[in-house]
Amino acid sequence: MSKNGKVYLVGAGPGDPGLITVKGLELLRRADAVVYDQLANQTLLSEAREGAELVNVGKSSARHTMSQEEINRLLVRLGNEGKQVVRLKGGDPFVFGRGGEEVEALVEAGLPFEVVPGVSASVAVPAYAGIPVTHRKMASSFAVITGHEAPGKAESSIAWERLAGGVDTLVFLMGVSNLGYIVRQLTSNGMPGSTPVAVIRRGTLAGQQTVAGTLDDIADRAEAQGIEPPAVIVVGDVVRLRDGMRWFDKSPLFARRVLVTRSREQASRLSGMLEEQGAEPVEVPTIEIRAIEDDPAVDKVFRDSGYDWVFFTSANAVGVFVAALARVGRTPGDLEKVRVAAIGPATAEALEKAGMRVDYMPKRYVAEGILEDIPPSLVAGKRVLLPRADIARTDLAEGLERLGATVRQIALYRTVPAAGNGHAGLKMLREGKIDVITFTSSSTVQNLVGMLGEESARINEALVACIGPITAATARKLGIRVDVVAEEHTIPGLIHALVERLSGEREKE
- What is the distance between the alpha carbons of residues 360 and 22, in angstroms, rounded to a whole number? 37
- What is the distance between the alpha carbons of residues 261 and 270, in angstroms, rounded to a whole number? 10
Asked if residue 325 lies in contact with residue 331, where contact means CB atoms within 8 angstroms, the answer is yes
Residue tagged active-site, from 89, 92, 174, 451: 174
Q: Would you call 403 helix, strand, or coil by DSSP?
A: coil
The amino acid present at 179, given as its one-letter code, is: L
Is 59 a known active-site residue? Answer: yes
Q: Any idea of the CA torsion for 264, 268, 273, 278, to the nearest 10 degrees? A: 90
Asked if residue 361 lies in contact with residue 343, where contact means CB atoms within 8 angstroms, the answer is yes
Q: What is the CA angle 379-384-385, rounded to 5?
A: 155
The amino acid present at 425, given as its one-letter code, is: G
The amino acid present at 160, given as its one-letter code, is: W
| Burial class for 142, CB neighbours closer than 10 Å (0-12, 13-18, 19+) | buried
| Pairing, β 231-235 against β 196-201 | antiparallel
Is 428 a known active-site residue? Answer: no
Of the candidates 443, 335, 330, which has an alpha carbon nearest to the alpha carbon of residue 388?
443
All residues at 6 or more sequence positions from 362 whose CB lies less than 8 Å from its CB, including other chains:
343, 369, 370, 372, 373, 374
Asked if residue 471 lies in contact with residue 442, where contact means CB atoms within 8 angstroms, the answer is yes
| Pairing, β 287-291 against β 309-312 | unpaired
DSSP H or E stretch at residue 146: strand 142-146
Residue tagged active-site, from 6, 59, 83, 89: 59
Residue tagged active-site, from 37, 83, 191, 451: 37
- What is the distance between the alpha carbons of residues 7 and 114, in angstroms, rounded to a whole number? 7
Of the candidates 467, 411, 410, which has an alpha carbon nearest to the alpha carbon of residue 442?
467
- What is the distance between the alpha carbons of residues 333 and 476, in angstroms, rounded to a whole number? 43
Contacts of 16-24 with C-beta under 8 Å, sequence gap 24+, read 16/41, 16/124, 16/128, 16/204, 16/205, 16/275, 17/41, 17/43, 17/44, 19/118, 19/119, 19/124, 19/204, 20/44, 20/118, 20/119, 21/116, 21/117, 21/118, 21/119, 23/116, 24/116, 24/118
Of the candidates 88, 169, 158, which has an alpha carbon nearest to the alpha carbon of residue 122?
169
- Known catalytic residues are 37, 59, 174
